[in-house]
């Protein structure tokens, strides 16, 4: 038998009353000849701001109920990571990197960073659970799987892994200083890469050379393609066309390519694996990779509607 979830709001009164039982604690404002309850507040919310919040509330309730029932609640570490990523983006783009300015702005709106963080973490918990459900609900045709197989493993079906070191042409350049000679910067980056390639061939530990290299693009790191200098599954043009040409010339594990010049610096790559990978052998990994892509709004909406149907949700405001 399907579980039953009753989320019926027949009026603004029931919307507010559903949150906290009636009683003295239900009064939210007292004054001379004045006493307002949560029901009064709920009625005002609906009359002045419509029912959008009600719909958000219903979505959060069904998602969290399903997450608890299926053990899909995100971990504290996942919630913290998502919060810090979101907070840092807000601060960087809207407050010139100043967390203090962000907090001051929140205080001007009647709250503060600590309260905002608490509220957002509640929302993030639901959002992460919903994204996980949307990913799991995905189905893929064989044609989609084969296209992704070709994207990752190439026309010849090869699994390729690399160690990669990046040397930025702009390392140490003062953005407020005089305009640099870009050609000279690129030349120096290529020279650093050449020294690293020679050292790698001579047996210097990769980790030691990694410590003296520069961070690659944040996108490569955030998406998990490059971790601690290692590319566990190389994809065509992952590091750019110049690196792609160099990788195509490496045949045996341990080979180090000649330093590779790019527009923003230089790369050193060492092949650690190159072996055949059939579509059948890659099938489960392809499913995992495809499910990691961010769900579309339509996919998320389908999950929410499915949960409302599963739990027999009916919402009506009369």
In a domain, 281, yes or no: no
Q: Do residues 131 and 163 share a domain?
A: no
Distance of CA 97 to the CA centre of its chain: 20
Q: Do residues 134 and 22 share a domain?
A: yes
Q: What is the rounded average pLDDT of the residues 118-123?
A: 94
In a domain, 204, yes or no: yes
Residue pLDDT, tens place only, 182-194: 999 999 999 999 9
In a domain, 266, yes or no: yes
Residue pLDDT, tens place only, 198-233: 999 999 999 999 999 999 887 777 677 888 999 988
In a domain, 7, yes or no: no
Q: And the tokens for 115?
A: 């309260």
Q: Do residues 98 and 195 share a domain?
A: no
Q: Do residues 181 and 245 share a domain?
A: yes
pLDDT band at residue 27, thresholds of 50, 70 and 90? confident
- Whether the pLDDT of residue 132 is over 70: the answer is yes
| Segment (H or E) for 83 | helix 76-94
Q: What is the rounded average pLDDT of the residues 170-181?
A: 84
Note the pLDDT of residue 226: 86
Contact 150, 130 (CB under 8 A): no
Residues with Cβ < 8 Å from 194, sequence gap 6 or more?
A: 259
More confident residue, 43 or 255: 255
Q: What's the rounded Cα separation, in Å, for the pair 67 and 126? A: 8
Q: Between helices 279-292 and 113-136, what is the axis angle to 10°?
A: 150
Q: What's the rounded Cα separation, in Å, for the pair 284 and 145? A: 10
Contact 265, 191 (CB under 8 A): no
Q: Do residues 128 and 174 share a domain?
A: no
Q: Do residues 17 and 129 share a domain?
A: yes
- For 156-217, the DSSP string reads TTEEEEEEEEEEETTTT--TTSSPP-HHHHHHHHHHHHHHHHHHHHTT--HHHHHHTS----
In a domain, 176, yes or no: yes
In a domain, 284, yes or no: no
CATH of the domain at 175: 3.10.50.40
In a domain, 198, yes or no: yes
Cα angle value 253/234/165 (rounded, 5°):
70
Q: Do residues 129 and 57 share a domain?
A: yes
Predicted model pTM = 0.60
Contact 36, 27 (CB under 8 A): yes
In a domain, 180, yes or no: yes
Question: How many structural domains comprise the chain?
Answer: 2
Give phi and psi for 274, each to the nearest 5: -150, 105
* Residues of the domain holding 103: 12-138+295-310
From 70-84, 189-203, 229-243, the region with the lowest mean pLDDT: 229-243
Note the pLDDT of residue 317: 61
């Amino acid at each position: 038998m399907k579980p039953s979830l009753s989320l019926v709001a027949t009026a603004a009164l029931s919307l507010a009353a559903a949150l906290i039982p009636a009683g003295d604690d239900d009064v939210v404002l007292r004054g001379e000849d004045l006493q307002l309850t949560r029901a009064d507040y709920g009625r005002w919310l609906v009359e002045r701001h419509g029912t959008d919040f009600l719909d958000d509330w219903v979505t959060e309730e069904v998602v969290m109920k399903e997450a608890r029932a299926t053990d899909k609640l995100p971990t504290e570490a996942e919630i913290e990571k998502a919060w810090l990523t979101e907070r840092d983006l807000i601060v960087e783009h809207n407050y010139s990197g100043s967390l203090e300015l962000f907090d001051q702005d929140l205080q001007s709106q009647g709250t503060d960073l600590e309260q905002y963080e608490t509220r957002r973490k509640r929302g993030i918990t639901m959002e992460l659970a919903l994204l996980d459900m949307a990913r799991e609900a995905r189905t893929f045709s064989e044609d989609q799987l084969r296209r992704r197989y070709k994207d990752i493993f190439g026309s010849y079906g090869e699994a390729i892994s690399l160690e990669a070191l990046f040397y930025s042409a702009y390392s140490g350049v003062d953005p407020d200083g005089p305009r640099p000679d870009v050609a000279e910067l690129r030349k120096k980056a290529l020279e650093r890469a050449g020294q690293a390639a020679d050292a790698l061939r001579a047996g210097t530990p990769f980790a030691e050379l990694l410590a003296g290299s520069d961070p690659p693009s944040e996108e490569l790191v955030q998406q998990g393609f490059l971790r601690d200098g290692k590319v566990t599954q190389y994809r065509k043009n992952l590091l750019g066309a110049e690196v792609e040409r160099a990788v195509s010339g490496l045949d045996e594990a341990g080979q180090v390519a000649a330093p590779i010049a790019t527009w923003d610096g230089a790369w050193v790559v060492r092949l650690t694996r190159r072996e055949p990978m059939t579509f059948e052998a890659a099938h489960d990994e392809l499913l995992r990779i495809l499910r990691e892509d961010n769900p579309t709004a339509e996919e998320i909406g389908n999950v929410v509607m499915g949960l409302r149907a599963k739990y027999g949700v009916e919402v009506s405001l009369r």
